[in-house]
Amino acid sequence: MYRIIKRELLVPNTIYLKVEAPEIARKAKAGQFVILRVDEVGERFPLSLAGWDKHEGTIEVVFLIMGKSTMKLSSLCQGDCIMDVVGPLGKPTEVEAYGNVLLVCSTFGVGPAIVLAKPLREKGNKVISVMEVKDKTYLFWEDRLRSVSSETHIVFGDGSCGKHRLASQFVREYLETGNKADRVFVFGRVFTMIECCKATKPFGVKTIVALTPIMVDGTGMCGCCRVAVGGETKFTCVDGPEFDGHLVDWELLIKRKRAYLKEEAQAFDLYQPDNLRQLTGLSKLPERASVV
């Protein structure tokens, strides 16, 4: 069992957790993730590491409430325990002395971006952070990002600040106006990744994206998280999660991410009656569960 030390609603639908996991904290590196299972009937799902503290023995995650599993995780309070946390999984980010690095992030990608900024700067890189935010309501950790970046730019989706609405627009203009970028990293929404890759491709700037497909075991055993990169099938959990964004088959990634939409909606719908059943003592399960 893995105890929650701190829980915070950062912005609507976005939860921050600090969890006791000393062994994972000791080994964690930027770019890695953990697999969680909230309770006995829970599914296994991955979350990127948004921080860790070796001395305190804790890890941090930031996630969006998307469906039943993240809803269940969000309903845990400080002091509650998560049943299973396994990690650190995936390959750490390759951190070299690239020169000028654009670090793009949106929503839950802010955490892993902050984590990467530190080792990038330790290698002597100039880190230009670009945070894409829907509107001011959804802005979080600006100070944290600023404190680890050489330069920070915030792009608001409602156009309320500056002329850009998407991080990719900033990136495109940045490159078009003759600024040099030696490497780009993108964390967060798939849409942000795709658009940034489109922006960087004409300039031949290598763009690394952190993919978040559906996973089961997370250790290379099942192949659920397979993606096509440069025409080759890769397992995100052991070969990734970071890949060259210019080589990723985005259409395939999106289709595979959407493969269980129907089931996800069903599980989410039944989450409420599930609570009700507990409260009222009603024991009838929905029809589909009657296989056995």
Partner 1 sequence: MAEKSKLNLNRVPIPKQPPEVRRRNFNEVALGYSYEQALEEANRCIACKKPGCKDGCPVNVDIPEFIEAMKAGDMPEAVRILKSKNSLPGICGRVCPQETQCEMTCNLAKKGGPIAIGRLERYVADWEREHPEITEKQKGNINCNGRNVAIVGSGPAGLTCAADLAKMGHRVTIFEALHVAGGVLMYGIPEFRLPKVIVQGEVNYVKSLGVEIKLNHVIGKIATVDELLENGFDAVFLAPGAGAPIFLNIPGENLSGIYSANEFLTRINLMKAYRFPEYDTPIQIGKRVAVFGAGNVAMDASRCALRLGAEEVYIIYRRSKAEMPARLEERENAEEEGVILKLLTNPSRFIGDEKGRVKAVELYEMALGEPDESGRPRPIRKPGSEFIMEIDIAIPALGTRPNPVIPSTTKGLELTKWGTVLTDEATGRTSKERVWCGGDMATGAATVISAMGAGRRAATDIDGWLKNRG
Interface mask (CB under 8 A) for partner 1, residues 86-125, using x and -?
A: xxxx------------------------------------
Is residue 164 involved in binding partner 1 (CB under 8 A)?
no
Shortest Cβ distance from residue 257 to partner 1 (Å)?
9
Is residue 289 involved in binding partner 1 (CB under 8 A)?
yes
Which residues lie across from 48 on neighbouring strands? 33
Nearer to partner 1, 139 or 228 (CB): 228
Q: Pick the stretch among 7-15, 37-45, 127-135, 190-198 that binds partner 1 (CB under 8 A).
A: 37-45
Interface mask (CB under 8 A) for partner 1, residues 12-31, using x and -?
A: -----------xx--x----
Is residue 54 involved in binding partner 1 (CB under 8 A)?
no
Is residue 53 involved in binding partner 1 (CB under 8 A)?
no
Rounding to the nearest 10 degrees, give the CA dihedral for residues 52, 57, 60, 65: 160
Length of the chain in terms of residues written:
292
249 burial level (CB within 10 Å; 0-12, 13-18, 19+): middle
Binding residues among 245-274 for partner 1 as defined by CB under 8 A = 251-252, 255-256, 258-260, 263-264, 266-267, 270
Token code pair at residue 81: 């325990």
Shortest Cβ distance from residue 268 to partner 1 (Å)?
10
Shortest Cβ distance from residue 70 to partner 1 (Å)?
11
Three-point CA angle 60, 64, 67, nearest 5° = 120
Is residue 47 involved in binding partner 1 (CB under 8 A)?
no
CB 199 within 8 Å of CB 172: yes
Binding residues among 176-235 for partner 1 as defined by CB under 8 A = 216-217, 219-224, 226-228, 233, 235
Contacts with 249 (C-beta within 8 Å, 6 or more apart), sequence order: 227, 228, 229
Contacts with 283 (C-beta within 8 Å, 6 or more apart), sequence order: 277
Residue-wise DSSP of 168-224: HHHHHHHHHTT---SEEEEES-HHHHHHHHHHHGGGT--EEEE-----SSSSSSS-T
The type of residue at 56 is: E
Token code pair at residue 221: 């055993």
Binding residues vs partner 1 (CB under 8 A): 23-24, 27, 37, 41-44, 68-69, 83-89, 216-217, 219-224, 226-228, 233, 235, 238, 251-252, 255-256, 258-260, 263-264, 266-267, 270, 285-286, 288-289, 291-292
